[in-house]
Amino acid sequence: MSAETVLVFGASQRTGLEVTRLLRARGDAVRAFVRPTTDRTGLEPLGVDYAVGDVLDSESVAAAFAQGPVSAAICTFGGARGEPRPDLDGMVNVIEAAKACDVTRVILITGIGAGDSRGAISDNVWKFLGPVLSLKGEAEASLTASGLKWTILRPGGMGSEPATGTAVKTEDHSVMGMIQRADLAALVIDCLDDDNTIGKIYHTIDPESKEVPPLQRGEQLKVGAPKP
């Protein structure tokens, strides 16, 4: 990567925070896009710069790109229950702002079940997450049609345990499985560094994991289910 800044959306928690940690650990500059009310506890020790706004507000997204040179944008945003979903409209705002600032490299995290991967998930997953996965599929379609240098990663079930180091990315869109967020973050960095991943959609799973995602097992979705 160049000395320019990586702009991370959703940087304050979960996968976005893991990505930010890895970028900072190797010396990359990071601009974390956060809302005014975001808890920055996890980010403060990392020495990141901030852009404050809401991904659903196109002006604040544009301002985040315009703060200074950006080498790539990484999109890990999701939504909590009761909040407007940012998956599609937020992605459209990122695409438009990236183009306006001549930023061509964008990595998006969606989920298995989006786009052409409906057959990889159980009916129970679709029952609970179908509307969200549909929006994520539309976000993917917007990005793939954008003309940008994109890569899309689709995780299945996600955990927050330490990285195993055995997770993989595959272009087989029929596979489903678990992955730890720390491992997903490492795969994001791999894609950032590898131009051969441009224009590719990957499923990300840990083939060594014996755990089946809860919804895939038929369990009920808990209130406040984890975001990416």
* pLDDT tier at 214, thresholds 50, 70, 90: low
- Quick one: tokens of 179? 């992955």
Total residues belonging to the chain: 228
Residues 123-163 pLDDT 10s: 988 998 999 999 999 999 999 999 999 999 999 999 999 99
Residue with token string 């509307």? 131
What's the mean pLDDT in 47-62?
97
Name the fold adopted by 5-217.
Answer: Rossmann fold (3.40.50)
> Residue 221's Cα: distance from chain center in Å?
21
Phi, psi of 192 (to 5 degrees): -60, -35
Give the whole-angstrom CA distance, residue 131 versus residue 137.
10
pTM: 0.92
- Within 13 A of 187's CA, how many CA atoms are on the CB side? 29
